[in-house]
Structure 1
Amino acid sequence: MCAIFGIIGEYDEQQAKYALSRLAHRGPDHCGIEQNRQLFFAHQRLSITDAHARAHQPLQHEKILLSFNGEIYNFQELREELDFDFDFKTQSDSEVIIAAYLKWGVDFVKHLRGMFAIALLDGKKLYLFRDRLGKKPLFYMQTKEAFIFASEIKGLTPFLAKKAMNNDALLSYLSFLAPTPPHTFYKGIQKLAAGEYLRHENGKITTKRYYDLLNTQPSRITDKEEALKKLEKLLKESIDLRLRSEAPMAALLSGGIDSAAINYYAKEQEKNLQTYTLGYKEFAKYDERNNAAKSAQLLGIDNRTVEIDQNSFIQATEQVFASLDEPLNDPAAVPLYLLFDAIKDDGYKVVMSGEGSDELFLGYRQYFEYLDIENAKNLMHKNWLKKYFRSNFSKNREWEWYKRVFDETLLFRTSGDKFTDLQKNLLLRRNVRDNESLQYLSPYRQRFENSAHTDESIWYSYIDINLFQAEHFLTKLDRVSMAHAIESRTPFLDHKLAELVFSIDPVLRYKEGKTKALLKELLANKLPNEILTRKKKGFSNPYMEYLINSGKISLIQEVNQQTGMFKKDELELYLKSASQGSFKQHIWGLYVLSHWIQRELL
């Protein structure tokens, strides 16, 4: 796990090295630079595989230069396949990438199984790749003098002539918790989407999608027993691959089935991972310590709890927001940052985490609510209802859901669907048309409608994996873990496992009307029933109580007085609802946004 950074074109060496130094937290073990008059190609290394100096990057082979962030879990198998064509000098997965590129060209990426952001320079051609499901980030910008890329935005902002907000990033952030690709909050800086690669040659930039989950054949598996057998094989294989590490490894543990499953299979491989759980000093109702302790006891593993309070939460926000670079509406980022702080202190460099299970196996109750409401599209006589919902506005999300159905527009717009377009129109001092936010989803929806898949539950999983996961949860996980030089691994987000789920008759996922039905049945003879039937809690935390009690919530009003971005009366209604427990994540999103505006623009 590392940071990649590079400049093609004219540059100031001192400025380039300063920008690179801002990424040092991602790879504190070694800094490597290859440079000439028109090239600055660099790497910050976190040593996980082949820690020897021979594997330091940038890695060079003839006219090829490589800077790579991530893990290729099948590199040993690829190495055996490529051994006859390439003279390997290291034991690293990085060198396998070069060998694979020499054999297969840009299609080499299709042979990789893992998480990665790759910069590969072949003579005058530069290729940038982001992994299939978006686990690793990759940002880029083009100035008059040069093309620049980096693993985090903070590596690019020194090259901005002026900091200005990208309006598309703002609007997509308010709608979906994070800016949608290619947008970032900084005008002039863009990001690759999951499954995309970029080619830069002679000043020309082209981007192309090399991977899409929708290319799977729908309903290839219709028998539940066959589905369960294949799912178990691939889930076990995915976890086993990610247990390979030369560095100390730990795992997160909640009271739920995802982390329990990971630790169960790890123990099967005789890997008793140290696990970690968060607790909150003043607010036991958010705590998962008791459930995690019971899970640890039932699984026979060791669990350490980390307790935080209001002071530690508030004090950490500055560091967390700096790590994230731009607004991300996920209040769990702060406690997760503090949890990784404790994991780092204990000497661990790799952590297993359960992201992706909910999106693949329909783990959110609201998926079933959406599936039910979809049926309202079939009402023969709905004109009266259509007129009623149009003329009786409500901020409640259920009102918005039914309005969309009766308007015959897209119902499901990610599990991170927060500010609706009508809510934004009321709040912002600008006109926002209803359904304007669909422009940020349209490339994904068009691909879905052009695919062989027709079941809307597949759309739910597809858009959530591409946006709710890749740009929201995985962004949070990458930044807060890498801020502590810790590599996070997510076995549920193995692309082969995801493809298998997409090839199963989707009805098998939801016909019983219960969340994660397939996964729970798969684990029925492995995990205790107490874990399998436990009510889902999620990574909830008392962020709004902390924000109100500390008085920090007033920052939203202070920044609005300076910018005039929001209508004062409407903003006050949202803030008033905070103490009543309504629209909490909406308000957190405004707080994070206000903090960024104050830090970067005022």
Structure 2
Amino acid sequence: MCGIVAVIGKGVDAELVQQLSKRMSHRGPDESDLHITEKGHFLSHERLSIVDLQTGKQPIQGTNSAWMVHNGEIYNHKKLRDTVLKKHTFRTTSDSEVIVHLYEEYGYEFCDMLDGIFAFVVIDGDDFMAGRDPLGVKPLYYGIDSHGAVYFASEMKAIADQCKSFAAFPPGHYYSPKTGFVKYYQPQWEDAAKAVEPLDLKAIRETLTEAVRKRLMSDVPIGVLLSGGLDSSLTSAIASRLMTEAGSPKLHSFSIGLDGNAPDVVAARAVAEYLGTEHHEIYFSVEEGIEILDTLIWHLETYDVTSIRASTPMYFLSKAITEKGIKVVLSGEGADEIFGGYLYFRNAPSVADFQKETIERVQKLATADLLRADKSTMAHGLEARVPFLDKAFLNLAIKIRPEEKQPATYGGVEKYILRKAFDTPEKPYLPDSVLWRQKEQFSDGVGYNWIDALIEYGTAQVTDEQLAKAADLFPHNTPATKEAYYYRTIFHKHFPQASAAKTVRKWIPKWQENQDPSGRANKAHVKADTNIATLKATL
């Protein structure tokens, strides 16, 4: 939806804040504005207009002295206006405005009332608070400069060179000077012992359908990212069905690959034909992907190998989508974490380990798939929405008995219960060839040659001597392969601060010998290459 910057403190001027905000102009190409509060603090906003195109400009003032900036979407804003905020007078019809009014009504204790994705800052006199959505779908960073001023920003690049220290704002928390960090999101599913609920296929189907319905809220056209895998195909099928029922225009779907024969492109084409979407296929070459690595890592603000591999096609796809006038897309992130869909989950030593790993993967999404989904799309002013991470769906799905999610329970099929929930022969959502297709990592599915060529290229840029001394140059999260070392050098060029390196967490599969994040590193993959990145790394 946008990029936000807030600075609370002295010794900062308006021109500097505007410059910092403009580093994120890609996040909000439609409008930009800066507000200086009565006490001299700053709120800046780069807007991508999605809801309330006419009056939704930010920063937004509350009833009195409070002002706010927000990045995200609040899906239950109308319900909040009509119930707990019915006595309040609103200045706009924007979904964002409910945040500042909830602050006026409840103080700091309101974040759990929001159903949506958000990163926001409210300033009221010298008091302020910041909050981030439960799982960190929307990014937020915070820091402090040498004069004690506090900074918040949607992306690290806006504040990294201004702050003596900074970090990623923890998902599911709010912060105020009076309370410090408070974990407001404390769902039952975080306790692995609560995963005792019986399987209810109808509830899975209905709750996910409602999650998609919420995320169709928009005053601009919506599309779907369609890889042809189970997760994106399901969200596409549900959205297509809901939009048809509502008499909405035909859904636009988008897929990407190295060519027309890439696994994802072929599968997505079949889904699009089945659903009757307005389908668009985008292609990119290995050479084009390598060429944009520097720019991509600047946008992503990570050196995690799998995030970079998967973000490259997503970056090209997002550019093509916005060029067609689409501002919002549905995406399938989260399903593999919730249901144990990654192939390495097959190797979990016990049911308890399986369940614990699903919970930890969901909790860490903000540093992996959600970071990729936000920053590779918002690099082109495109907002990605993720139905699988709806609060109600999480509460239902993660608490199902873990035995029901394990592939061994159902003949080795991963995510069997999700597939079965939408296996409705009387009115099918998807063709069987897609509904029962094996899990494919996005970076693999665009064409296996993409990762192979990327590993080979990254390896060729780094000498044995450089890799041997990696710990001296990069003591935190020391890269273990030449490909990882190469990405790290690019990241370090853009973000040399020690604080920057510490914001990154590496995505590594468990319970398998080869810890390369490619799905093909697992022997269960139909195109397994268990030596991937090991033999190639020695070239």
User: Do both proteins adopt the same fold according to a TM-score greater than 0.5, normalized to the shorter chain?
Assistant: yes
State the secondary structure of the residue aligned to 2:462. Answer: helix
What is residue 104 of structure 2 aligned with on the other side?
102
What is residue 441 of structure 1 aligned with on the other side?
none
CA distance in 2, matches of 1:29, 1:132: 27
What is residue 331 of structure 2 aligned with on the other side?
353
CA distance in 1, matches of 2:324, 2:398: 39
What is residue 278 of structure 2 aligned with on the other side?
302
CA distance in 2, matches of 1:31, 1:61: 22
Matched, 1:211 2:185: yes
Where in structure 2 are there 5+ consecutive unaligned residues? 474-478, 498-539
Query: Cα distance, 1:221 vs. partner?
Result: 6.3
CA distance in 2, matches of 1:559, 1:35: 52
Deviations 1:543-598 (A, max 9, x none): 4443366x55443339938x943599xxxxx9xxxxxxxx9xx5432221122234
State the secondary structure of the residue aligned to 2:395. Answer: helix
Deviations 1:231-253 (A, max 9, x none): 22211100001011101111111
Deviations 1:334-384 (A, max 9, x none): 1110111111111110011000111112212221211xx248xxxxxxxxx
> Contact (CA 8 Å) 1:555, 1:594: kept in 2 or not?
no
What is residue 533 of structure 1 aligned with on the other side?
436
> Contact (CA 8 Å) 1:560, 1:566: kept in 2 or not?
no
What is residue 43 of structure 1 aligned with on the other side?
45
Matched, 1:364 2:364: no
Cα pair distance change 1:221/1:103, threshold 3 Å: farther
Matched, 1:460 2:357: yes
What is residue 368 of structure 2 aligned with on the other side?
472
Query: Cα distance, 1:48 vs. partner?
Result: 0.6
Counterpart residue type for residue 134 of structure 2: R
Deviations 1:381-402 (A, max 9, x none): xxxxxxxxxxxxxxxxxxxxxx
What is residue 504 of structure 2 aligned with on the other side?
none
Where do residues 116-515 of structure 1 align in structure 2 (5 Å cutoff)?
Answer: 116-145=118-147, 146-160=149-163, 188-200=165-177, 206-214=180-188, 222-224=197-199, 227-269=200-242, 270=244, 271=248, 272-281=250-259, 284=261, 286-329=262-305, 330=307, 331-370=309-348, 373-374=349-350, 455-467=352-364, 469-510=365-406, 511-512=409-410, 513-515=412-414
CA distance in 1, matches of 2:215, 2:465: 44
> Contact (CA 8 Å) 1:45, 1:57: kept in 2 or not?
no
> Contact (CA 8 Å) 1:327, 1:593: kept in 2 or not?
yes
CA distance in 2, matches of 1:342, 1:520: 30
Q: What stretches of structure 1 move > 6 A for 4+ residues in a row?
A: none
> Contact (CA 8 Å) 1:555, 1:595: kept in 2 or not?
no
CA distance in 2, matches of 1:359, 1:139: 24
Number of residue equivalences: 470
CA distance in 2, matches of 1:118, 1:599: 26
CA distance in 2, matches of 1:249, 1:81: 28
The structure having more radius of gyration, on CA atoms, is 1
Which range moved further: 540-549 or 326-335?
540-549
Cα pair distance change 1:338/1:76, threshold 3 Å: same
CA distance in 2, matches of 1:560, 1:598: 16
> Contact (CA 8 Å) 2:160, 2:495: kept in 1 or not?
no
Higher relative contact order (CA 8 A, sep 6+): 1
What is residue 17 of structure 2 aligned with on the other side?
16
- What root-mean-square deviation, in Å, do the aligned CA atoms of Structure 1 and Structure 2 show? 2.6
Match of 1:523 among 411, 419, 422: 422
State the secondary structure of the residue aligned to 2:361. Answer: helix
CA distance in 1, matches of 2:493, 2:360: 32
TM-score (norm 1): 0.73
Match of 2:463 among 536, 549, 557: 557
Cα pair distance change 1:20/1:374, threshold 3 Å: same
Query: Cα distance, 1:23 vs. partner?
Result: 1.4
Deviations 1:233-279 (A, max 9, x none): 21110000101110111111122221121121112221532111111
CA distance in 2, matches of 1:241, 1:548: 40
What is residue 518 of structure 2 aligned with on the other side?
none
> Contact (CA 8 Å) 1:559, 1:598: kept in 2 or not?
no
Counterpart residue type for residue 359 of structure 1: E
State the secondary structure of the residue aligned to 2:423. Answer: coil
Query: Cα distance, 1:209 vs. partner?
Result: 1.1
Query: Cα distance, 1:219 vs. partner?
Result: 5.3
CA distance in 2, matches of 1:588, 1:273: 38
Which range moved further: 586-595 or 256-265?
586-595
State the secondary structure of the residue aligned to 2:414. Answer: coil
CA distance in 1, matches of 2:213, 2:465: 49
What is residue 6 of structure 2 aligned with on the other side?
6
Query: Cα distance, 1:456 vs. partner?
Result: 3.1
> Contact (CA 8 Å) 2:26, 2:379: kept in 1 or not?
yes
CA distance in 2, matches of 1:600, 1:262: 36
What is residue 492 of structure 2 aligned with on the other side?
597
Counterpart residue type for residue 57 of structure 1: P
Counterpart residue type for residue 41 of structure 1: L
